[in-house]
Structures are given as structure tokens and as C-alpha cells.
Amino acid sequence: MTDVRDLLARVSAPEGSGRPIHDAATGEVIGNAPESGVDVLDDAVARARAAQPAWEALGHDRRIEYLLAAADAVDAHAEELARLLSREQGKPLNGPNARFEVGACSAWLRSSASVALEPQVLVNDGDTRAELHYRAVGVVGAIGPWNWPLMIGIWQLAPALRMGDTVVVKPSEYTPLSVLALIDVLNEVLPEDVLLAVSGGRDVGARLASHPDIDKVMFTGSTATGRRIIESSAGNLARLTLELGGNDAGIVLPGTDATAIAQDLFWGAFINTGQTCAALKRLYVHDSVYDDVVEALAEVARTTPMGNGLDEENVLGPLQNKQQFDIVNRLVEDAKSRGARIVTGGSPARELGELFYPITLVADIEDDAPLVEEEQFGPALPIIRYTDVEDAIQKANRLDVGLGGSVWANSRDEARAVASRIQAGTVWINSHGGLHPLVPFGGVKSSGYGLEFGVEGLKAVAVPQVING
């Protein structure tokens, strides 16, 4: 294990250069991110292109060994990575946060190494034998987000490496240092130029999406940026996997035990202080249990500590950046102006720091309020009362998003019947947002397309080939 300062020194720009990166909780400068241009990106893509044939030629067994060694390297540096992530992104060390995220990195590396992808025999009738194989797509461009920068980065790069692709990573401008540190750790064991990272501005991301030598683009982020990536990739016909905005709906059915679901409901909405694509962002609750659910959530909110992520007691942190803070503040102020009831929170927690916003439960709000219709991506949850389940399903489906959804009920059979009618890539029952490395994940409608994880995730970073004869 190295010291966090040693890890930072390995990835930061030289003194006097680069762009300062601030601690999300305190505002202190923690390091300087390299600010590379498109010339550096072009060089990285060329190097990845040159390294790709030899990497693919190693075969699955040898690449699996490298992925397992990479997982061991992450484990060896887990605490330094978690502490850097906590400072840069803002999420606390404990709870489902920084240490959890770093642990997920090694878990997903191991899962990508363990998944079997065997040739599929399509026809074997004595006259014809046809098999479906999957081979490397080539060079993958991975454009990551700032909310789960390490974990989502691994989701993109691990299956690509497993399939014989080389990868060029472009970190978010908000959280570059922790991603560069992760790539540095992985490259302790990986062959040269198989995995490269280029830290820079939007011009670098745009060039990566449109680069003629990029065969596949993986992007997690906003729908607006996803649309621009689609346009940029038209020239090179790069394959795409896009995990875009959510605004996930949850429906609590009549008679549900509010106390039994309160903790899972709370973390479904407020994991990473609400800064999660597949977090619960609008909650429809039947009138018969509405007051009970609101109060049960309020009790959890009142007893869940928020503050500096390096404090071992805290499990909720700040918003990562001022732009997101301003969005949350604007939407809550609008809800107040419309007469919605603020149950907890409702105004910035300046006593904790500039980017802290408390858990804000907003009750008695109309379904057409901006806090419901826009993805808040932060610690504010609108709770909408309904009396007819059909109406709740219609409201859950009315927006042009479909990443995730959830149904909450005492009866799983009743919940499944409703879940089958929710327009979302994943619908959870009595939970929200939980992911498994072997269970495919992806969105519908404007929440993107393509699948990640498991066998389907491996196929997504490969090209099919039929061998006939």
C-alpha cells in the first residue's frame, strides 16, 4: 500500500501546470489534473491501435490472468483509492460509498474474468455446421462520469480488455485524478499501451467519439451529451453503448408496510447523496399509506449523518460540483413556490460547506412540477400521492426516460404484475438500484441503449463472427 500523496504525485500534472482539482467537501486544492489536448489523444489512440493485435492474440485464458492480477492490484491500493475518491468526488468512505465503490472495482474485474462466452452452434444437421463466435471489436473509447467514476470506469474497461480490445479512457473533468490513479494502478500489471487515459476538456471527449480509429464508444452521462456522441460517431460508424439520464420512478402499492421498506427506499433514492443515474428520483405512494411512508422516510433522513467524507461516521456527503448543487437548489425552491410541503431539509446546509444540501423530502407535490419532471440528480425526492394504481403506472411511464424503476409491496406477486408494465430497462421489487455483475443492465427510451454486465456485456464490446462450414 502506498500513501495517497504518493498516488497523487504519480498522476498529477507538474507543479504550476494543469487544472486545480478541489476537495468537494472543503474546497481545498488536492492536486492538478493534466490538461491534454487532442494531439495527446490522437497519440494514445495510435498506441492503443498498435497494441491491440498482440493483446487479442494472447487469448482469453491469458487475458483473464491479467484481469485477476489487476483486481489484486486494486485491492492492494484500495484504501488510497478510496480516500482520493472521497475527497475528489465527495462521497464518504463508509456506507455504500468510496470503499464500497473501490471494492466493486475489483469485484467487477473478477466477474469479467470469470464469465464464460462459448461459441454457439447455430446449425449442425450433418450437411451444415454454423457457429457464432465473438471476437474483439478493436479500440474502445470509454468516456466516464463524475458520480461513480471508478466503478463505472471498470464497467467500461474490464469487459473490453477481457474480449481483447484495447481501451482509451477519457475521465470526467470533475473527477479526473481518482480515475487516473485507478488506471495507474491497473497499469502496474497490464501490458504497455493496452489501457491508456487522457485527461482533458470537452474537445478531447468529442475527438474520442469521432476518432476514425475508435471502433466502440462507451459513455455514461446525460442524455444531451449522449445525443452529441451519436452525431459524432456517425462518421466512423463506431458501435455505441450509452447509459444516459434516468429520473427513475418508484410505486408503493396499497397496504405496504412503510416501516419495512423505509431503509431500502431511502438508500434507493439517496445512495451517493442522490447522485446516481439509476437512483429513485420520483416516488408515487398510495393514499392509504402515504403519510406512513413520508414519516418513515423522514425518520431515516433525520438519523443518517452527513458531512466530510473522511469522517468515519458520515455516510452522506456534498454535491460534487456547484452546477449540480444549483440544479437541486433551483428545483427545491420552485417546489416551495408551488406550495409543496418540505418534510426534511429544503435549504442549503452551509454550516457543513458550500456544496452540502441536506436530504430533502418534498411531499404533497403535483406530478407536473419541475422537481418531478426534471432529473434532480441530488438529495431531493418528490413524493406524489395517488389513489388509483393505473394512474400511478401511467405517471411512472409518461416521461421519455427508462433506465430503472421499482415497485414496493407486501405481496411480490402483486408487485411483479405492476413491474411488468413499467417502461424501464430494469425494474426492482422492494429495492431500487442494486446491480449484479452477472445481470445485464441498460436503459430504454432516452435513457440510452446497449447492455452491460455478464455475457451480454462481453458481447457488447465484441463483434459477432459466423464460421460456416
pLDDT tens across 238-263, in order?
Answer: 999 999 989 999 999 999 999 999 99
Q: Rounded to the nearest 5°, which phi and psi values hold at 219?
A: -140, 135
The Cα–Cα gap between 195 and 52 comes to 10
Q: What is the pLDDT of residues 263-322, one digit of tens each?
A: 999 999 999 999 999 999 999 999 999 999 999 999 999 999 999 999 999 999 999 999
CA atoms 265, 270, 271, 276: torsion sign? positive
Residues 6+ apart with CB under 8 A from 452: 155, 156, 159, 241, 243, 440, 441, 442, 460
129 DSSP assignment: E
Percent over 70 (pLDDT), the chain? 100
Q: What is the pTM of this model?
A: 0.96
Q: Rounded to the nearest 5°, which phi and psi values hold at 443?
A: -110, 175
**Mean pLDDT in the chain?**
97
Q: What is the pLDDT of residues 292-302, one digit of tens each?
A: 999 999 999 99
Instruction: Identify the pLDDT of residue 3.
Output: 81
Asked: is 248-429 a CATH 3.40.309.10 domain? The reply is: yes
404 in Cβ contact with 248 (< 8 Å) = yes
Q: How far is CA 133 from the centre of its chain?
A: 29
Residues of the chain with CATH 3.40.309.10: 248-429
Quote the Cα angle for 93-94-95, to 5°. 135
Strands 360-363 and 380-386 come out as: parallel
Q: What is the pLDDT of residues 47-71, one digit of tens each?
A: 999 999 999 999 999 999 999 999 9
Instruction: Identify the pLDDT of residue 16.
Output: 85
Q: Annotated catalytic residue: which of 88, 243, 452, 456?
A: 243
Asked: is 4-244+444-468 a CATH 3.40.605.10 domain? The reply is: yes
Instruction: Identify the pLDDT of residue 1.
Output: 59
The Cα–Cα gap between 158 and 101 comes to 15
Q: Which of 383, 332, 381, 378 is nearest to 356 (CA)?
A: 378
Q: Is 28 annotated as catalytic?
A: no
Instruction: Identify the pLDDT of residue 407.
Output: 98
- Where would I find the H helices in 387-453? 389-397, 412-419
Residues of the chain with CATH 3.40.605.10: 4-244+444-468
